[in-house]
Structure formats: structure tokens, C-alpha cells
Amino acid sequence: MKPVRFEYAAAASSAAASALLAQVADDAKPIAGGQSLGPMLNLRLARPSALVDVSRASDMRTARDEGDAIFYGGAVTHAEIEDGDVPDATPGWLAAVARRIAYRAVRNRGTIAGSLVHADPAADWVNVLTALGAHVVVARGSAVRTVALCDFFTGPFATVLAHDEVVAGVRVLKRRATARWSYWKFCLKAGDFAKASAAVLRDPERRETRILLGAIERPPVLLDDPLAILQGRRSLADVVTQAAPHLSDEARTLHIAALRRAIALATSDGKPGGGS
């Protein structure tokens, strides 16, 4: 099928994109790589009256070292992270995650902010960047606000963004090799959306321990008292049931397994990082 008719404009910057969105009906949407919105447009499940193309907005195509963090422009593609075309804020974790997103042809156009704004609960960046404590930088005209990803998602496919707000980029704190990380996801086939996922971060330097339960068809959940979970003082079945009571028995079983495997990867004596 073909999309319904829409108006199109390209933006040279995130601020320009926001201004363009403010000029049209509030069903207009920004589009970057179009790898999530595109299928919905083609199936006519999404019918925006206008699209603002941010895939070449200059401030969204850059990545820069900010000392304690790396800022990734929103239109940086998954393939560019996979290939190391932009700096990795972590010891290779982001590149490993990027490589497992969908397929190469999708990664060549799909973008980091597009994935976050689409807010599919099963998407990799939604879960991984929340687990890493990342922040999105949101542009509205020339004004900018920063939102922690743990406060960004309000539901499946839903975020705090107003219709004329654009995610200009993502700020990811640097993690050193002393930190440990794991991300486990279950997919029915390579490149498919995850049925269940879990991520573990242990960063002794920053004194941060986070465990995330993802792909629960709701925004991801950062689990309470992660140290107790890592030390085996809490039953994983209870933890999952408490964090995501809506899961079916089958889904709960998968999530418990994902959590167990992510914890095993992050606490084993093997090399840090890895697992996806």
C-alpha cells in the first residue's frame, strides 16, 4: 500500500524542524530515517497531514565529546554507531547493541532519536539508553530542555513530547572498562523486535547499579533495590511479577529468563560488556 497524501518539508536544524511543526496541524510528525514510521505510513495506520524531515538537520547529524558524556545528534544512524563512525560513550557496548537492531539496510537509515521518539517498548535504544541513564535534549523553537529517559516514556508508543518538540539528540554518560554491562534480548528471529529483554549496569566509579526490565509492552522498568537482586537476595519471579504484573504467564517466563541471563553475564568472571 501507499501512504495517504502528506505535506513534506526538510529542516536544516532541530530548531527549524520545531518551527515547521508549530506552523501546521498537531498531527504532523518529524521523520528521520522513517524505518518505524514508514511501515505505518505505507499501511495507512499512521496518517499525518505533514512530515518534517530531520534526517539532514546539521545539529542532529553530529556527535561530540562533552567531557563526561557523549552527545549524539538525534539523526545519527544505528549503522554509524555500529561502525564506530561516532565515538562510543561506553567500552563498545553501544556498537554491540546497534549491530543487533533490525537489519543492516534498516540500520543505514534508522536513527537513535527516531527510535526513542517512536517509543516502541521492544526497541533496543528505548531500553538500553534508559538502563544507561541517558538524557534526551529536546528542542522547541530555540529553547532547549533536557529529559531523563526514565521520565521520557509515558506509555507504549507515547512520550512527554509536545507536537512541536523535536529530540535534537541524546546525552550518554561515559562508562569506563571498570564498569560492567549486559543486555539480553529474546527475538523470534534475527532482527526481529524483542519478546523480552533485560539490562544490567554496574558502574563502581559512578556508584551506579541499575537493572532494567524491557520489552514489556509498557515503558521499561528500572527495578528497585538492584543490589539485592544481583546478590540473589530476591526471587527473580517475584521481581518480574511485581515490576510487570500485566504480563501473561508465557511472557513472564521469558522475562525471568532474560533477567537471569543478563545478571549472569554482568556478574560472571568473563570479560566485561558483551552479551546482547
Contacting another protein within 209-228 (CB under 8 A): 217-218
Task: Return the number of the residue (106 or 173) whose C-beta is nearest another protein.
Answer: 106
Judged by CB under 8 A, the stretch of 128-136, 200-208, 243-251, 260-268 that binds another protein is 243-251
Q: Of 216 and 263, which CB lies nearer to another protein in the complex structure?
A: 216
Q: Which stretch binds another protein (CB under 8 A): 43-51, 171-179, 234-242, 268-276?
A: 43-51
Nearer to another protein, 56 or 176 (CB): 56
Single-letter code of the amino acid located at 87: P
Q: What is the smallest separation between the CB atom of 207 and another protein, expressed in angstroms?
A: 31
User: What is the 3-state secondary structure of 213-240?
Assistant: EECCCCCCEECCCHHHHHCCCCCHHHHH
Q: Does 56 bind another protein (CB under 8 A)?
A: yes
Residue 103 binding another protein, by CB under 8 A: yes
- Count of residues of this chain found to bind another protein when the rule CB under 8 A is applied: 75
CA nearest 168: which of 132, 133, 144?
A: 144
CB atoms within 10 A of CB 229: 19
- Residue 94 found at the interface with another protein (CB under 8 A): no
Q: Is 6 in the site for another protein (CB under 8 A)?
A: yes
Alpha carbon distances (Å) from 144 to 15, 48, 120, 141, 147: 9, 25, 24, 8, 10
Among 59, 92, 96, 104, binds another protein (CB under 8 A): 104
Which of residues 141, 191, 253, 264 is near another protein by CB under 8 A?
A: 191
Residue type, 50: A
**Could you tell me which of 130, 210, 213 has the C-alpha nearest to residue 172?**
130
**H helices of the chain, where?**
14-22, 37-42, 78-82, 93-99, 104-107, 112-118, 124-131, 226-230, 236-243, 249-267
Pick the binder of another protein from 23, 142, 178, 268 (CB under 8 A): 23
Q: Output the nine-digit C-alpha cell for 49.
A: 497531514
Q: From the CB of 173, what's the least distance to another protein, in Å?
A: 25
